[in-house]
Structure formats: C-alpha cells, structure tokens
Structure 1
Amino acid sequence: MINPSHSIYLLNSKVKMSLVILSLCMLSLLVAVWTETNADEAAGDHRPLACHIMGNIGGVIDYRYSRVGKEQKVAMEMAVEDFARSSCSKQLVLQLEDSRGDSARAASSTVELIDSKQVRALIGTMSAQETGPLSRVAKNIKYLPIISLTSPAITPPSIAHQLPHFFQFSDHITFHIQCIAAIVGQFKWRKVTVIYESKNGFSAYSGILTLLSDTLKAVNTDIEYHLTFPSLPSLSNVEAFIEQELVNMRSRSNRVFVVVISSLEMAVLLFEKAKQLGMMEKGYVWIVTDEIASFLDSCDSSVVNNMQGVIGFRTGFERSSKPFKRFRSRFRSKYRSEYPEEEEHCNPSIFALRAYDATWAIAQAMKNSPEKISSKDLSKAISSSRFRGVSGAIRFKNNVLRKMPSFQIINVVGNSYRELAVWSPDFGFLKSLEKHDGVNSSSSFEEWGPVHWPGGKGSVPRGWVISETDIPLKIGVPAMGAFHEFVKVSLDEANNKTCVTGFSINVFEATLKRLPYNLPYVFVPFNGSYDKMVEQVYDKGLDAAVGDFSIEPGRFQYAEFSQPYIDSRLVMTVPAKSAKSNITWMLKTFTKKLWLLMVAMHMFIGCLVWILERGNNTEFEGIGGMLWFSVTVIFHAHGQPLRNNLSRVMVAPWLFVILIVTASFTADLSSRMTVSRLEPSVLDIDTLLKTNAPVGCNGNSFVVRYLTNVLHFKPENIRKFYSENDYLEAFETGHIKAAFFVEPHAKIFLGKYCKRFTQAKSTFQLGGFGFVFPKGSPLVFDMSEAILKVIESGEMRQMEEILSFPNCSSDALRDNSSLDLEPFAGLFILSGSVSAFGFLVAILRTGKNLQILSYIQEALTKRRIWRWASIHLSRENSTIPKTKDQVQASTSVELANFAR
C-alpha cells in the first residue's frame, strides 16, 4: 500500500524537475538567439532580433597609436550598446575608421563613410580646418552633422560659417590660453617658450600664437620662442629630433616651457629626453595642458617619474557622482578586454566621457526624429539636445558646448600628483570646484601649500638665467655726461682699458650682487645724447643702459625702466644776491600781534597794581596817576617799592616774561644786523618767460624738450651746455639768467658753488633716475626688486655720500620772518593767569568801596584824559632841562589841575 504522503512528495519532485528542465531550455534558447545576433552583426548583417535599424553613425579616430583614440573607441561602443539596451525600438550601428594620426587618411575615411556606409552623422577628431576643404570636394559633408572631439576646440569664425552643422564637443582654445596666462601671471614670469605638436590641422590656424601672445601680454609676459613638433607618424627618428630641439632650447636663457598642444605619446618622449638632458632640474618650469594632465592617472610610473615638478591643468568634472562611478567600472572592464597590454592603466579620461556623451547625443536626436529625417533637421535636433551626461550637463550654444569649463591645477609629485587649486574664467583661482564664495577664493598659490618644482621644493623659479655660453650683455654708459660724479669714463693707460666709475655705476654693481644669478656684462661708452642711447637699446645695439637716465614718458615707447634708485625734480638755479636786513625800524623784529599783546598785558598788569598800591601811594591818585603808574610801576620809576604782597605776586611772572622777550629781541636783532643772506636774483619761472630771458640746460638730456613742450620757453632762448664749467662762464658773461638741472645734478652744482648760486622756488616733479632695458626684458623686474633691497639695507644712503658737500650747504637762504607769539605763548598764559587771579582778588577787596568806581566813571565821562596826555607829552618833549624836583612839582600841579 502506497503511503499518500510519499506519493505527494514524489509528485512535487517531478514538478520541480520539470520546472528546472524548462528553465534550462529557455536559457539555452536565449543564448542561441544572442549568439546568432552577434554573429549576424559581426558578418555585417545589422538586423537585430526585435529591433529595426534606424541609421549608421560614423567615427574617424586614431585608435591604433593614440591613447585618446583608444579611450574614445571604447566609450563610443559603450554608448551604442547602452542606447540599444535602453531603447530596443530603434537601434544604431557604429561604423569606425582608424585615421592612424594622418590627416589625409582621416579625410579619405570620412568620404568613404559618407559615400559607401551612408552614415547619418559623424564623430571624430577632425578639426574644422580639415573638414572645411572636404566640403568643397564632397558636397554631402557640408550638410552632414559632424561632432568634433578635438581638444581644445579651434574653430575660426570664417570656417564656422562654412560648416553650419559642425559641432565642437570640447572646450574652446580660448579658455585653455586664459588658464595658461593666469598660471604664468601668478608667478610673474616675463618670458615663456611655447611648444606644440602640429596635428589635426593645428598648424593651419596660425592665429593661435597671436591669441596666446595677446593674452600673455595682459600679464606682462612675452613669447620669447616657439617650437613646432611635427606629428609622430611623420617623423622617421622621433627621439633624435626631440633631443636636438631640446638642446637648442636649453642654450637659450628662458627656462619656462609651456606645452600648449601635444599628444600623450609625444609628451612621454619629450619629458624622457628633457630629464636626460638635465632640463628637469632646479630653475626649470614646465606647464602642460589638458591633453597631458588628464592622463596622469593612466600613465606608467616611469612616465610620472620623468615629469616631477610639472604644473598642469585638466578639465574638471564630477568624479564622485554615481553615473561616473558606474561608467568607470564598465569602462575599465571593456578597456582591459580590448587592450590587455594596458591592463594596469585603464581609467577613463575626460576625452572618453565626451566621446560617450557625443554618441549618446546623436542617438537621442535620431530616436526623437522621424525615420526619413534630413541632415539639416538632424543637426537642429542635435543642437537642441539637453541632458545630463557622464561628463556633465550637455547643451549647445552656437554649435559649441554651453557649459563654462573649470580646470583643476595639479602638480606632479612622487608617483602621482597633488591638486593645487581650481581655475575658472568667471572666478579665477579657487580652492575647490564646488565653492566660489569670496571666503573660499584666493589669488595666491601660497595658501594651498608649497609647490614641488623640478629639482625639488624651493622658491619660485626665476624662469630666466644667464648660461655660461651666453655673450656678456652690452651695457651702454654715457661718455659725455655733464656731471662726472654720476658716470665718469676714463682710460687706464697702465692696463690699456676703459674704466667706468661714479655713483650710478656703484648702484648698478651693488644691485647685481643681489640678483639670484650671475649676470655677465661689459660697459660700452656711448658718445651721444641720452635719448639716442635709449633708442640704441630699442634697436638692439645695446642690451641695456646704465647712468643718470631720467625716467620720463617720451622714452617709454623705446624701452622700459627699472625702479628709480634716486628721486628727481627739475630745479631752477640762478645767481644769488646779497639781501641786507632792513633795521631802520626795529619793530620788524616782532610781529604786530606780539607787540600789541605786550602793550595790552603791560597796561593791564599796571592797572591792577595801581588798584592794589593806591592806598600806599597817594601821589598816584586819579586817572592820570593810574596811567602813569601802569607805565612806571614795573620799573619802579617813582623810586618806591611795591608794598602789597598780591602786587608782587602779579609782577614777578610778568618780569620773567619781559626778561625772556627782551633776550629774544636782542638775539634776533643782532642776527639781522650781522648775518649775511643770499636771495635768488630771479624768483620764479614767470619772470623769465615775461622778460624772454635766456636759460641754459644740458644739451644731451631731455630737459631741452621739457623746457620747450612743457614750460613753453622759446627755442631761441634755450642755450645748450655739456659741462658744468660752461654754466659758470655763461652766468659770468650774462649769457643766461637761469639754468635748469635735474635735482641730483643741481645738488652737485649748488654744493660746489653755494656762495654764488642758489635755487629758485620753481621746481617740477620728475620720475627719478633708473636703468634702461629693452621692452619685455625679464631683467626689469629682477633689477627693480634688487634696487629696493639696496635702498632698504641702507647701502644706498652710504653711496650717496659722494654726492654731498658738507662744507658748503646749498641751502643759503634763511627765514626772514619776524618772531611771532607762538614761542612765548606759554609765558603769556602763565602771567595772564596770575594777573587775572589778582584782578579777581582786587575786585573782591574793593567791591564795597564804590567811591573809586564812581570817581573813574566821572573822570571818563568828562573826557579830560586827552588833555592831560597832551600836556604831559608836550612837557616831555620840551628841550629845557629840568631837575627831578621840578619834574615832580610840575607833575603834581598838572595832576591837580586834571583832578579839578
């Protein structure tokens, strides 16, 4: 008998077995279908199992020799597969052609894809310069949508109009150049050498160097030399060619090299040879762009080791996003399978991401369009594409990616690199890609840590050196200078050589000692004007000029000047005349204000003392007595001492004031009567202009031009001289009435002849003395910095001693002003305070006695004070001598009459 539970168990087992067999059959069928589909595609049959073919996409890239092309090929295939998987109703087929880095082969492959394969759109690394001529040969190209993956994008406006359906799927070259200029300007390098590889039609767009030069000039930098490398396939011996070019570059003084356009393969050979030739050592600077910096993650350790200290920038994108991480995982797997020899270095770059997004943009445009859409309408559909790709937001404006790029600034260190900063056209340098606020932004690399330069850490390389094989600089010096204290050229007969000495030469030699490199030079005496010497620097006849060169605007069109090592003004020098002091009236010793204050204080203190002493001196009754007492009490003319203590307190400070003022009066009056003064014979320039007076100046300097153009002297009134002795003779004969010198020269002249000449009030500010260099010379910045160091160290002050004359000061003019109140203000305040206190006490004491106040009021009302004063003065002026008793008696009678 069969157990029911056992029967159910057997039934369930059979059902399970049947289900397993059915599942295996279905899986086998799916594998067969997938294998048949792949076999049909490999054989050229593009009919999918359940999807009909919509169209072909053509691709022309270099996926045999170029790392960029390999990544682009893998990414484009991934995009087609992903699109087919996401939208099975419409499928695309990718037709790839290998250009092998040859422009001619790329052109022929493009024509074949259009004519034979009948592609609906084209993706490749051909530039607008390469595609433009093809539009005249194959008319279909003119209307075919073409997406260029060339980086950086170089599309002249003229060609853009010829190819209205040409899309640039990369950042324009302008942004790359702006980033280069920002880095160079950050470190203030004045000269650069530009290196680029002529590939993909780059040489056809000659305006790139002009654009780079103009952008660098905005940061005061010039292109000293540019080097063009042919494409790798066109060279029979690549290593020998690169080595020879690097040797030529090493022989030049510039040490800042910018690799603007280059394939990764060319860059690998370039830095390998540069390291072998010692061009990756201290003092060198290398800057690379996106095409090299973006592949540092995929380079071998030996390549990175050859690039130690290199600074580069690469296009920034969201490396931490989930879409990128998924894409990177699948890309690494597919890249390893197709290129197993590069298994260790298979990270995708920005070029792979853009190739993927470009393919997806075409696929999406075809999906959203009718089956028989025209090329023109397909181009419109592509230009209106808006989606979020693995490289970022995809959106076109004028057939160029609308997204504003940002670049990560990196520094190669050790086995990898270090991110220094982020640069964007809108915000400049930032600390990070995500934040642009003012707190996070910065304009200095110093905030991000030290930069690892070639040869190791250290200060920023100068970028310019003088090598041992360089010819010494020809430094011009004026042989006909008017004042030999600045530059003197003489012949050393013993050694048969020319000697150059002077203050300007001493400053120049002291400055050279503070340069971080050796600067070989030789002095070349120049027999000509200063302006002609500046022009010789401009014409390359001289490498620089040293001397008493004034920095003035007219010379900047020919040369550049260093920091001024001495200040300067235009000084008017005239003969001096003796000025006799006018001592007829000694009142000029004090100012009117001081005289009036002394009289007022004296009368005030006298009146107060009269009030206090009235009870003890009955002979000084009445208004007349008060006035006479106020005049004589201080000097005790009446012969009676002061008896009131308060009177003594008030008089004591005033006597001290009188003592000090009297001593000052005596000293100033003695000085005015004995000391000789010199005054300018001509006070100002207006006097010279009004009288058409002849003036003199240095005929070799710019002063002639300054007097004519700025001060408006008539040319016939200007006399030119070439030595200081000529000025003396001209002044003595009356040939000139004044001479104009730059201030350093005026100090020399007046220092020697201060008793005969003096400086007028008219002066005009100038730019000072500086050294002359050619336009764009890197020495301008270095010498200016060294001059400031000489000034700050105090060495400049010591060297200026040879220009001074301590025994004869040029400032012979004295101050003729009278003594004012200011020196005695404190004394007057002290005496006035004591007197005011005494006055207050006197008022309190006599306030109850109104008799005196009534008497004063009555006397003033009668106005008889004038009568008394006139009688008294007439008596004083009388020629009849009187005895003391007679004077006192007559005074008593007069006072009695006055009282009546």
Structure 2
Amino acid sequence: MIFGLQGKTLADFATLVMERATQTIIILFLIAHFGAAQNATKTGAEEFPVGVILDLGTLVGKVTGTSIQMALEDFYAVHRSYNTRIALHIRDSRGNNIQAASAALDLLDNHNVQVIIGPQKSSQASFVLDLGNTTQVPIISFTATSPSLYSGGLPYFVRATLNDSAQVNSIASLIRAYGWRQVVPVYEDTDYGRGIIPYLVDALQIIDVRVPYRSVITPSARSGQITQELYKLMTMQTRVFIVHMSSDLASKLFIKAKEVGMMKKGFVWIMTDGITNLIDSLNPSVVEAMNGALGIKFYVPKSEELDSFIMRWNRKIQLDSPNDPSLKPSIFGLWGYDTIWAVAQAVEKIGFNNGTLFQKPAAPRTSTSLDTLQTSAYGSELLNNILQNKFSGLSGYFDLSDRQLQVSTFQIINVVGKGWREIGFWTVENGISRKLNHGKFMTRYAQSVSDLNNAIWPGKSTEIPRGWEIPVSGKKLQVGVHRSMYEQFMTNEKDPITGTTKASGFSVDIFEEAVKRLPYALPYEYIAFDNNEDRGRAGYNDFVYQVYLKVMRA
C-alpha cells in the first residue's frame, strides 16, 4: 500500500498524483518503484532491495534521478524473463553529510538493502563508506570523484566514475601546448575541491609550470566575498586560472568574473570536467559569462543507443519537470544508467532468493543503531560480479574491475555564444590532437597549439593570451642605472614632465629584451645612481656598492 491506495492500479495512482501539485522527482521514483513492485508480483520475480542516496534538489541529482529510473525500466524491458527485480529505495541527502550517513543507516537497518548507489558528494561518501565496509554492502558512487576516497582500506567502495586526478595530465598538456608558465588554481574549500590539488600541482611541476597562488572559495561564499577574491587575483601577474568546483559555485564565480572585468582579452580560464560535463544544463546567462573559457569534458562515443536514450530522456523530462526546461542529460546521468545495468546483471547472476539478507539475529527495530548492523549475506559475491561485469554502455566501455572507471578520452572544448565547440581531444597514449580517427589520434605526443582547433578567447579575441599582464597594483622592480663613459652602452636622463628616469644604450636593450621573454609580467622602474661628474670608474664602483647596500635614490 502506498499513501493508502490499497487495491488501486498504477494508473489510478498516477492520476491521483497528477491531480495534486506538480510532480517532484521523489514522487516519480515512488511511481517507478510501485510499478516495479507490481511487475515483480505478476512475474513472480524476487525483489532485491537497493538503496539510492542523491541530493535530489541539485542539478546532478535531478539529471541522474531521471536516468536511474529509465535504466531500471529499460533493463527489465530487455530482460523480461529474469528471476530478480531491483526494488529501489530512494533517499534525499539534501546536501548534508550527516543526512547522507543517516539515510545509509536507515537503508541498511530498516530496508536490508544489499547495495547503496551514491552518495552524491565526496564529503558525504567519507561518512558512508565505513558503513559499507562494516556490513560488506557495496557502495557505488558515480559522482564522488575526490582522489582521497580511493583506498585499499575501502574494499566495498566502487567508483563508477573517473577519479579527479585522471584529468590533471590533460590540463597540463593543454597548458604546455599554449606555452603558459604560471597558473592559479581556483577551487572550492571541500573534499572535492581540495582533492585534486596535489595531483594538479605535481603534473604542472613536471612541465616546469609554477603555481604562485591558490585561490580557495567556500561553497557558502557570498557575492561580495567572491568579488573580493577576484579583485585580489587581478592584482597578480598571472592570468591563467584553473577552476575546479561545483557547477553552482562556478556559476556564481563566472558571473562575478564578468562583472569585474576578468572575462576580457588577456585572461585564460580552464574548467575541470566537474563543471564542463554539466555545461549543457547551465543557465544561459552563466554560459554567456563563461564565453572564451576552455573546458575538459569526458568524451562519450556516439551510438544509436545513446541517440535513442537522449530523445526519450528529453521527452520524459518535459513531462516530469516542465518548469525546468534547461535540464539536459549529462555524463553523470549516463554513468548512473550504466551503474543500474551493472548492478541488475550482477543481482541476477548471484542466484538470489528472498531469504536471509543479513547475518544477524532477528530483533525488533526501534531505531537505527550501529550495534544492530551485521554483514550482508550477498555483499561479497555481489561485489565480485559487479567488478567482473564489463560491457559497452551508454557512457562507453564500462569496466569497474579496478573498482573505478579508467581514463579513456577527454574532449577539450571552448565556450562560445550559447554553447560550446570542440577544439581537440586528449588521451594517455597520444596527448592532445585536433581530431579522432577511428579511436586513434592523427598525431602522437602533440605539444603545440597547431594540434588544436583555433579557440575564441575571452573578449572574443582570436589572439592566444600570453598568460600574464602587468598587475593592477604591486611593487615594481627597481633597476639601478649609471651613465657610462661610452653613451652607446648606457646613459640616462630624467623626464622633465613625469619625473621618471629614462635609460638607453646597448646594456638597457639587452635587459629590456630579456624582460619581454619572461613568461610573466615584470613591472620595473629605472633609478639613477649618478650625476654629471661621476662617469668614471670610481663612480661606477660606488654605484655597484650602493646596489649591494640596497640604497635607492630618487
């Protein structure tokens, strides 16, 4: 019985829901679960309890929620004769770590779930993973990407997505191709945001690129705080920024960056895949603010199955969420879809019968307690089957044998207008290149911008930014100059209007040419250390000694 609809059909239930308020994702899941339960009863199939923990109010939660529902329907439409049926128990963590852990306890203790799909965030996963180890229930997340989560001490954690560290070499290759020598990471102050930084810095050090500053922004930062941090970045020489944060925080960042003038000519913005993978579902005003940015995006090979899924997904979202037309299927939704298929196939293989699910004594359940949790009767076998199941899914080749997806191909995109365009690809074997040719690159170990399509940079510029500018404010390098006996080598004079010292000569030309070749801005000013009477050797020796003493003259 659901909501007192004893004896009602699925059609009756759906009609009643439509007569009420606008459908929510939670209700949609309940409908799907009710339908699956009816179908299981008709076919005599055994129900296998599986928990799902998502942040249903977020962009990722909405997209993946719809994809999971469709995966369940599609799988059993293809495998009608299977003796098992997954019964999903959906929980909303509401973006809270404690709520996610509480939901996991409830699913394990009160619903005997044998697999938990989720939670959504890396910080939430940190709270839940120990429960999976304790109960030997596989925890499968297709959204928790922090490198810190993958450990030999977490045998029941499976990452059905890429580790964030998988993309750092593609970012380093991109930076090397354009010749930039300094970059500033801009990331959120969470497990997800911090997790990638050590790997990113290491990858940049290998190609001799410096990280002079790290910009950390809290997810709860107000507009004024974001603006203040951006103004701080503007005072620095570096103009190349790598943004690694949630799509919500990134949206605020780019809107503010445009407001303060940091989305104009000379700036470089590179987004990690956590943002770029969702770009199709971002608000058009946010995409417009991102114009000129580059992004790393997981590459999904085209297929007829994928095209069919996208068409059906779009139709479904129009019916289920008519007030949210910007939602588009993303790679997270595809990973969620493929995860359901992997779990459903593994469930059928273990020969499940609705007997004892957990090895624990029967006891009345008056509360969720760690003391009542025992080991799963199917967890170990189920985990092994999930890890051994390899197939071509909607997201590409789906292989969890190493307890996480492996690096395949990244797409490099350029945000232009209301969307984006492709400028190249990256793989471990071949580096970056402009095109794919039957899965292989046209060139090998590409290292220059000639191996990428032309990008349109911030400010609609087609000129590749040099990566540095003279900062808005900051100390100038004081360069001492002294007149030589031979003016062709060194001479100086004071500008009668500005009062600044002007220097010229062969030595000055060499110095200024060296400054131009630096990969960063070096503001400087000349300081005269002489007068009309001290052009000889004694005057020059005194000049050198004054520089040694760090004595400056006006």
Fold match, TM over 0.5? yes
Displacement of 1:322 after TM fit?
Answer: 1.0
Tell me if 1:267 matches 2:250: yes
Tell me if 1:113 matches 2:107: yes
**Residue aligning to 1:315:** 298
**Residue aligning to 1:401:** 405
Q: How does 1:242-641 map to 2 (within 5 A)?
A: 242-260=226-244, 262-319=245-302, 321-343=303-325, 345-371=326-352, 374-402=378-406, 404-435=407-438, 439=442, 442-446=446-450, 448-475=452-479, 503-509=506-512, 520-523=523-526
Q: TM (normalized to structure 2)?
A: 0.77
Alpha-carbon distance in structure 1 between the residues aligned to 2:32 and 2:160: 33
Tell me if 1:154 matches 2:147: yes
Classify 1:259/1:37 alpha carbon distance in 2 versus 1 (closer, same or farther; 3 Å). same
Counterpart AA for 1:408: Q
Q: Deviations over 1:322-369 (max 9, x none)?
A: 1101111221122222321222x3331111000000111111100111
Q: Answer 1 or 2: which has greater helix percent.
A: 1
Counterpart AA for 1:226: R
Alpha-carbon distance in structure 2 between the residues aligned to 1:209 and 1:483: 53
Alpha-carbon distance in structure 1 between the residues aligned to 2:433 and 2:32: 53
Confirm or deny: 8 A CA contact 2:503 2:526 kept in the other structure: yes
Confirm or deny: 8 A CA contact 1:58 1:121 kept in the other structure: yes
Stretch moving more, 459-468 or 47-56? 47-56
Alpha-carbon distance in structure 1 between the residues aligned to 2:461 and 2:132: 58
Alpha-carbon distance in structure 1 between the residues aligned to 2:217 and 2:516: 39
Q: Deviations over 1:407-439 (max 9, x none)?
A: 111111222222111111111112323446674
Classify 1:487/1:210 alpha carbon distance in 2 versus 1 (closer, same or farther; 3 Å). farther
Alpha-carbon distance in structure 2 between the residues aligned to 1:408 and 1:491: 55
Classify 1:190/1:139 alpha carbon distance in 2 versus 1 (closer, same or farther; 3 Å). closer
Counterpart AA for 1:146: I
Alpha-carbon distance in structure 2 between the residues aligned to 1:293 and 1:498: 49
| Secondary structure of 1:341's aligned partner | coil
Confirm or deny: 8 A CA contact 2:116 2:139 kept in the other structure: yes
Counterpart AA for 2:206: A
Displacement of 1:497 after TM fit?
Answer: 10
Confirm or deny: 8 A CA contact 1:62 1:101 kept in the other structure: yes
Task: Select the structure with the greater relative contact order (CA < 8 A; seq sep ≥ 6).
Answer: 2
Alpha-carbon distance in structure 2 between the residues aligned to 1:303 and 1:139: 38
Confirm or deny: 8 A CA contact 1:99 1:109 kept in the other structure: yes
May I ask how many residue pairs the two structures share in their alignment? 483
Displacement of 1:266 after TM fit?
Answer: 1.6
| Secondary structure of 1:222's aligned partner | coil
Confirm or deny: 8 A CA contact 2:433 2:441 kept in the other structure: no
Stretch moving more, 81-90 or 434-443? 434-443
Stretch moving more, 190-199 or 361-370? 190-199
**Residue aligning to 1:97:** 91
Counterpart AA for 2:322: P
Displacement of 1:487 after TM fit?
Answer: 6.8
Alpha-carbon distance in structure 1 between the residues aligned to 2:13 and 2:381: 32
Alpha-carbon distance in structure 2 between the residues aligned to 1:269 and 1:426: 36
| Secondary structure of 1:455's aligned partner | helix
| Secondary structure of 2:203's aligned partner | helix
Q: TM (normalized to structure 1)?
A: 0.49
**Residue aligning to 1:735:** none
**Residue aligning to 2:222:** 238
**Residue aligning to 1:4:** none
**Residue aligning to 2:369:** none
| Secondary structure of 1:297's aligned partner | helix
Say which one has the larger Rg.
1
Confirm or deny: 8 A CA contact 1:37 1:49 kept in the other structure: no
Displacement of 1:279 after TM fit?
Answer: 0.8
Classify 1:335/1:141 alpha carbon distance in 2 versus 1 (closer, same or farther; 3 Å). farther
Confirm or deny: 8 A CA contact 1:63 1:70 kept in the other structure: yes
Displacement of 1:498 after TM fit?
Answer: 9.0
Alpha-carbon distance in structure 1 between the residues aligned to 2:118 and 2:151: 17
Alpha-carbon distance in structure 2 between the residues aligned to 1:491 and 1:37: 88
Q: Deviations over 1:271-310 (max 9, x none)?
A: 1111111111111111112122223333343222211111
Confirm or deny: 8 A CA contact 2:236 2:472 kept in the other structure: no
Structure 2 unaligned segments of length 5 or more: list them.
1-6, 15-30, 354-376, 530-536, 542-554
Classify 1:268/1:420 alpha carbon distance in 2 versus 1 (closer, same or farther; 3 Å). same
Q: Deviations over 1:552-583 (max 9, x none)?
A: xxxxxxxxxxxxxxxxxxxxxxxxxxxxxxxx
Displacement of 1:179 after TM fit?
Answer: 1.0
Alpha-carbon distance in structure 2 between the residues aligned to 1:371 and 1:516: 63
Confirm or deny: 8 A CA contact 1:294 1:314 kept in the other structure: yes
Displacement of 1:114 after TM fit?
Answer: 1.6
Stretch moving more, 505-514 or 451-460? 505-514
Alpha-carbon distance in structure 2 between the residues aligned to 1:81 and 1:43: 10
Counterpart AA for 2:335: R
| Secondary structure of 1:422's aligned partner | strand
User: Identity over the aligned pairs, expressed in percent?
Assistant: 30
Alpha-carbon distance in structure 1 between the residues aligned to 2:490 and 2:110: 81
Confirm or deny: 8 A CA contact 2:67 2:333 kept in the other structure: yes
Q: How does 1:40-55 map to 2 (within 5 A)?
A: 42=34, 48-55=41-48
**Residue aligning to 1:223:** 211
Confirm or deny: 8 A CA contact 1:488 1:502 kept in the other structure: yes
Alpha-carbon distance in structure 2 between the residues aligned to 1:503 and 1:202: 53
Counterpart AA for 1:162: G
Q: Deviations over 1:359-417 (max 9, x none)?
A: 11111100111225521111111111122211112122321224x32111111122222
Alpha-carbon distance in structure 2 between the residues aligned to 1:132 and 1:512: 48
Displacement of 1:43 after TM fit?
Answer: 11
| Secondary structure of 1:194's aligned partner | strand
**Residue aligning to 1:83:** 75
| Secondary structure of 1:181's aligned partner | helix
Counterpart AA for 1:114: L
Counterpart AA for 1:164: P
Tell me if 1:177 matches 2:168: yes
| Secondary structure of 2:113's aligned partner | coil
RMSD: 3.8
Alpha-carbon distance in structure 2 between the residues aligned to 1:160 and 1:518: 42
Counterpart AA for 1:348: P
**Aligned match for 1:168, one of 159, 167, 182:** 159
**Residue aligning to 1:60:** 53
Displacement of 1:215 after TM fit?
Answer: 0.6
Confirm or deny: 8 A CA contact 1:450 1:457 kept in the other structure: no
